[in-house]
Every structure is written in structure tokens, then in C-alpha cells.
């Protein structure tokens, strides 16, 4: 990032995904944000599946705009966008000629009306606001640090389970594996579609594969929000063991679930 910003001094904005949900991996947004800040570049971070699962500190990390959703690690309903906006990002929006105004997605309109004057610029989606408040209260009751650590612990246990049943993690290194979802490389001789459809049709458990150029190469076990719990983890790993055996892959029943539960020692859910 530093090399690119040095070579192209006209770069004004940098955008990066914090937790790449399709590939189940993380980008080092703290380091990237700090480098971009040195160059006066506005950094926009998609932390849609990061917030609540990964630690994030936009002010300390030089992140100007962080965008999240209630429906991932916060365990809420889809429909709203949650954002943090730095003073530098507000200035950049105000300096734009002409500024983006008079539209539902004009952040400046929201700032003038709601942040500065407590008048919502449009009819608010009150049901979604109440739903978001409810999950945020639950996060605060548990404590943000513990909430995030719980996602980390379940993700680690999931990885232990995947390895325990002889499967390969999609992430090249565990340090870059995210807390929202765990990617499992589709074992040789099987297809993602065969695994996913057997899980869904025979056992009523829906998980997904990947998207874009990595589609077909991995399946994803989710552990966001309420699903960041041993109950859902054991269920997914147990059904995956069953399905792999159904498809003729050599499975030692209990190896994955056992390794995952062993990795949760000391945790109180
Ligand atoms: C990393 C990431 N960014 C953006 C999105 C899009 O969020 P939405 O569907 O709420 O627009 C998703 C949704 O899956 C996501 O995982």
C-alpha cells in the first residue's frame, strides 16, 4: 500500500474490506489505515461482517469511513447501514463540487438534519432502528470485548474441528482467518454443490459456498451473532461429518466435533 501511494500521489481514496466474507479471510485494516493516513488519503473500510466479530478502532487506525451492517456478527436484521465518519471524510464531502445533496444516500443531508439538528431527513425505518437497538443492547450487556472474544473463540474452535476431521482450511494462515465464517477447502473428489445440497436436503442445514472466482473451491461454516455458540458449531460440524461419510469421504465420526469442543475449554457460554 505504501509503495502504491508513493508511486501515485494523486490517489485520494482507498477502500478495503476488513472481513472478506466470501473468502473468510481478513485484511490488515489497522496497518493499511495508518499508512493511508500518513499520505492524507481517505480510507473507507467495509466491515460489514467484521463489526462485532473483529476488534476495530476507526479513530486510532486512521479509518475515515467504516461501514457495517446489523445482520452479520451483530446478529440483527438486514436493512440498515451503520457508519462511522471522520472529520476529514466530512470535509472531503463538503469540498466536493457540487456536494452530494438532496438524496437518500447523501451523508451530508443526514449530518445537517440528524447529527446536527436531531431531525431525521426522511421517514425513519423505525422497525429496523428498534431491531438494531435491541441487538446493540445485547452486545453491550455481554460487553463488546467479550462479545468479540466469543466470536474469536468459536472461530478458533471451528478451525480446530475442521482440521480435526482431516479437512483443510481455506485461509492460507490461521492469523488471517476471520471470526465471522470459516472457509473449508472442498476435498478432492467432491464438489461444493454435492456437500451443500446434501446438507440442506438430507439434514435441513443450510450453509453456503463462495462467490466469484473462488466459487466451487470452498464451503463456509458460519458463526456470527447467535450462531457464535457451541450448539450451532457442533451441529454444523456434526452434519458435515455425516454428509462427507454419505458422499464416500473417509470420516471418523466425532473427530471434528470433538476437536472443536475440546478447543472451547474454559469458555462459559
Ligand atoms: C464483506 C461484505 N460487504 C458487503 C456486503 C453487502 O451487505 P448488504 O447485502 O447488506 O448490502 C456483505 C454481505 O454479505 C459482505 O459480506
DSSP 71-87: TSTT---SS--EEEE-H
Band of residue 129 on the pLDDT scale cut at 50, 70, 90: very high
Q: Which three cell numbers stand for residue 111?
A: 449530518
For residue 49 and ligand 1, the question of a CB distance below 6 A is answered with: yes
**Alpha helix (H) residue ranges in the chain:** 2-7, 29-38, 58-61, 87-95, 107-110, 126-142, 144-164, 192-203, 230-246, 255-262
**140-162 average pLDDT score:** 97
Listed residue (140, 218, 228) closest to 179, CA to CA = 228
> CA torsion 237→243→249→253, rounded to 10°?
50
Residue whose CB lies within 8 A of the most ligand 1 atoms, among 21, 50, 225, for a mutation test: 21
pLDDT value at 86 more than 90? yes
**pLDDT value, residue 124:** 87
Determine the pLDDT at residue 100: 94
Q: Please give the pLDDT value at position 104.
A: 86
Q: Whose CA is nearest to atom 8 of ligand 1?
A: 69
Q: Average pLDDT in the 224-237 region? A: 98
Angle subtended at Cα 72 by Cα 155 and Cα 214, rounded to the nearest 5 degrees: 70
Tens of pLDDT along 8-32?
Answer: 999 999 999 999 999 999 999 999 9
Ligand 1 atom nearest to CA at 81 = 10
Minimal CA–CA distance to 130: which of 70, 73, 48? 70
pLDDT reading at 122 higher than 90: no
**What pLDDT sits at residue 192?**
98
175 is written with which cell numbers?
492469523
What percent of the chain has a predicted confidence (pLDDT) above 90?
Answer: 96
Q: Is residue 83's pLDDT more than 90?
A: yes
- 28 CB-contact burial (10 Å; exposed 0-12 / middle 13-18 / buried 19+): middle
User: Is the minimum distance from the CB of 181 to ligand 1 under 6 angstroms?
Assistant: no
Q: How confident is the model at residue 147 (pLDDT cuts 50, 70, 90)?
A: very high
Segment 60-66 shows an average pLDDT of: 97
Phi, psi (deg, nearest 5) at residue 106: -85, 110
pTM for the structure as a whole: 0.95
How much of the chain exceeds pLDDT 70, in percent? 100
DSSP helix/strand/coil, 218:
strand
Q: Is the CB of 69 under 6 A from ligand 1?
A: yes
A 10 A CB-CB count for 78 gives 10
pLDDT at position 216, please?
98
192 lines ligand 1 (CB under 6 A): no
Q: Which atom of ligand 1 is nearest to the CA of 22?
A: 16
98-105 mean pLDDT: 92
At residue 218, φ and ψ (nearest 5 deg) are -145, 160
Q: What is the pLDDT of residue 115?
A: 94
The alpha carbon of 45 and the centre of ligand 1 are apart by a number of angstroms equal to 12
Quote the ligand 1 centre to 259 CA distance (angstroms): 31
Q: What is the rounded average pLDDT of the residues 231-244? A: 98
Amino acid at each position: 500500500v505504501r509503495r502504491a501511494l508513493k508511486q501515485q500521489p494523486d490517489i485520494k481514496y482507498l477502500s478495503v474490506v476488513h472481513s472478506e466474507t466470501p473468502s473468510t479471510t481478513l485484511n490488515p485494516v489497522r496497518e493499511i489505515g495508518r499508512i493511508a493516513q500518513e499520505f492524507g488519503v481517505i480510507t473507507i473500510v467495509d466491515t460489514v461482517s467484521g463489526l462485532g466479530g473483529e476488534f476495530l478502532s476507526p479513530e486510532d487506525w486512521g479509518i475515515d469511513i467504516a461501514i457495517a451492517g446489523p445482520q452479520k456478527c451483530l446478529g440483527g436484521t438486514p436493512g440498515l447501514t451503520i457508519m462511522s465518519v471522520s472529520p476529514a471524510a466530512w470535509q472531503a464531502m463538503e469540498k466536493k463540487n457540487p456536494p452530494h445533496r438532496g438524496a437518500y444516500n447523501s451523508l451530508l443531508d443526514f449530518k445537517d438534519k440528524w447529527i446536527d439538528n436531531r431531525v431525521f431527513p426522511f421517514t425513519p425505518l423505525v422497525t429496523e432502528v428498534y431491531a438494531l437497538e435491541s441487538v446493540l443492547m445485547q452486545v453491550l450487556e455481554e460487553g463488546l470485548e467479550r462479545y468479540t472474544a466469543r466470536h474469536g473463540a468459536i472461530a478458533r474452535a471451528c478451525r480446530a474441528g475442521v482440521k480435526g476431521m482431516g479437512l483443510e482450511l481455506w485461509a492460507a494462515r490461521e492469523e488471517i482467518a476471520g471470526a465471522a465464517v470459516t472457509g473449508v477447502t472442498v476435498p478432492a473428489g467432491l464438489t461444493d454443490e454435492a456437500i451443500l445440497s446434501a446438507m440442506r436436503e438430507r439434514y435441513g442445514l443450510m450453509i453456503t459456498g463462495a462467490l466469484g472466482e473462488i466459487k466451487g473451491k470452498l464451503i463456509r461454516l458460519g458463526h456470527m451473532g447467535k450462531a457464535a455458540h457451541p450448539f450451532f458449531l457442533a451441529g454444523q460440524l456434526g452434519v458435515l461429518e455425516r454428509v462427507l461419510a454419505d458422499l464416500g469421504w473417509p470420516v471418523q465420526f466425532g473427530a471434528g466435533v470433538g476437536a472443536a469442543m475440546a478447543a472451547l475449554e474454559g469458555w462459559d457460554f
